[in-house]
């Protein structure tokens, strides 16, 4: 069986036969889902009209908000990353809903989903797969790992060793896996949603810079406010809201939404502003590592998704400014002297947003220190 038609857990990768990943395009109660009938994947996705895009994205966020109380902005950003074709890193203390957010996003789309629990004894082959000798055929056969799914949830990714973490690098950057000299392409759409605890917590291994740079955005959920926490205590007692979540979109729907995002217009002035912001991070005396070219490319892609979710067919500088911290902060390294003085990547980005000239109206005027959203 082709590795693109597998749905395995990490342990099954080395012990069991490949399982088919083809799933009927219906919800759990048998109701047909929206999207092109008879399509198994996103191949050939065409852009949606604005009304259909708005309706479908609104339904996805509405379903997620029934599971995650009081985190509408986090839900919106998670969907933004999915539609921009990126990967999401959820970083916060245990118990604030990181895995719940990842699972709720995965369940809104009728696609293959694998969850990997990262532990110190997890092996790279549990993720990528392994070649096993078949006695009957007297040949090696590839057993796909848990990475072969549309959405892969990596729970507590920084509890695994650096060697195991590195197994994700190729798949996240190139959507493929190389094992024993053979390259296997992953299913599309493909997204990794990883959770991690702060590095100060016991038993964690910091993600290397190259690994963090693969994630389009990082979200810190934080504790819910009083009203949201009271609502959680009431609604999560009798049942788990996640159990009631049903898919509202197919992979074909997601492909069409991604195509819609790709068609969003970016003016030359907005591209120049993005580059100027990136260059400012590289020359800032408070930073010893600035934003990479990949970071700027992903910032612009995320801005296009944010514009589409806002009902616009074009990107505004405010889209770049709003997403600058979640997209850039986890990639930056603060100088030790600046860090001892209290500087953080987010605070440095805030200072740069106040100094880099923002493109103004079409007459060519620029505004310095424009509204920082």
pLDDT score, position 203: 64
Confidence bin at 68 (pLDDT 50/70/90): confident
* CA angle 5–116–25, rounded 5-degree value: 40
Instruction: Compute the CA torsion angle 353, 270, 332, 104 (nearest 10 deg).
Output: 100
**pLDDT tens for each residue of 239-270:** 777 788 889 999 999 999 999 999 999 999 99
Quick check: 345 and 328 in contact, CB under 8 A?
A: yes
Cβ neighbours for 275, distance < 8 A, ≥ 6 positions apart? 296
The Cα 286–Cα 334 span in angstroms is 6
pLDDT score, position 362: 54
3-class DSSP assignment, residue 134? strand
Q: Among the CATH numbers 3.30.1330.20, 3.40.50.300, 1.10.132.20, 3.40.1780.10, which is that of 41-231?
A: 3.40.50.300
The Cα 347–Cα 273 span in angstroms is 19
Structure tokens at 285: 């005396």
**pLDDT tens for each residue of 151-180:** 999 988 888 888 888 888 899 999 999 888
pLDDT score, position 333: 93
pLDDT score, position 27: 37
Q: Which of 99, 80, 205, 218 has its CA nearest to residue 152?
A: 99
Q: What architecture does CATH give domain 264-353?
A: Orthogonal Bundle (1.10)
DSSP code string of 92-127: -STTSSHHHHHHHHHHTEES-EEEEE--TT--HHHH
Q: Where in the chain is the domain with CATH 3.40.50.300?
A: 41-231
Q: Where in the chain is the domain with CATH 1.10.8.80?
A: 264-353
Quick check: 127 and 163 in contact, CB under 8 A?
A: no
| Alpha carbon distances (Å) from 4 to 100, 147, 171, 183 | 26, 10, 13, 12
pLDDT score, position 232: 73
């Amino acid at each position: 069986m082709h590795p693109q038609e597998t749905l395995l857990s990490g342990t099954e990768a080395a012990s069991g036969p490949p399982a088919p990943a083809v799933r009927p395009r219906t919800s759990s109660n048998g109701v047909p889902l929206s999207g092109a009938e008879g399509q198994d994947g996103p191949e050939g996705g065409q852009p949606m009209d604005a009304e259909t895009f708005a309706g479908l994205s609104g339904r996805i966020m509405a379903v997620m908000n029934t599971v995650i109380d009081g985190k509408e902005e986090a839900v919106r950003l998670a969907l933004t990353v999915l539609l921009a074709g990126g990967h999401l890193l959820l970083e916060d203390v245990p118990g604030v809903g990181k895995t719940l957010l990842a699972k709720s996003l995965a369940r809104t789309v009728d696609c293959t989903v694998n969850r990997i629990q990262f532990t110190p004894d997890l092996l790279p082959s549990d993720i990528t797969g392994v070649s096993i000798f078949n006695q009957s055929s007297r040949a090696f056969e590839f057993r796909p790992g848990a990475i072969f799914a549309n959405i892969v949830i990596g729970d507590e990714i920084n509890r695994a060793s650096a060697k195991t973490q590195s197994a994700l690098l190729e798949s996240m950057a190139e959507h493929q896996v190389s094992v024993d000299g053979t390259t296997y392409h992953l299913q599309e759409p493909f997204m990794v949603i990883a959770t991690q605890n702060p590095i100060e917590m016991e038993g964690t291994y910091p993600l290397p810079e190259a690994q963090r740079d693969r994630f389009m955005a990082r979200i810190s959920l934080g504790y819910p406010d009083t009203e949201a926490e009271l609502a959680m205590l009431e609604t999560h007692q009798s049942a788990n809201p996640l159990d009631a979540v049903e898919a509202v979109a197919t992979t074909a729907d997601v492909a069409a939404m991604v195509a819609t995002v790709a068609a969003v217009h970016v003016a030359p002035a907005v591209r120049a502003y993005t580059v100027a912001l990136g260059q400012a991070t590289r020359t800032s005396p408070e930073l010893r590592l600035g934003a990479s070219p990949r970071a700027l490319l992903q910032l612009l892609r995320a801005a296009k998704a944010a514009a589409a979710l806002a009902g616009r067919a074009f990107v505004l500088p405010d889209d770049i400014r709003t997403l600058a911290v979640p997209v850039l902060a986890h990639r930056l390294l603060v100088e030790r002297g600046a860090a001892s003085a209290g500087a953080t990547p987010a605070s440095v980005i805030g200072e740069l947003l106040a100094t880099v000239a923002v493109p103004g109206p079409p007459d060519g005027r620029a505004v310095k220190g424009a509204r920082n959203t």
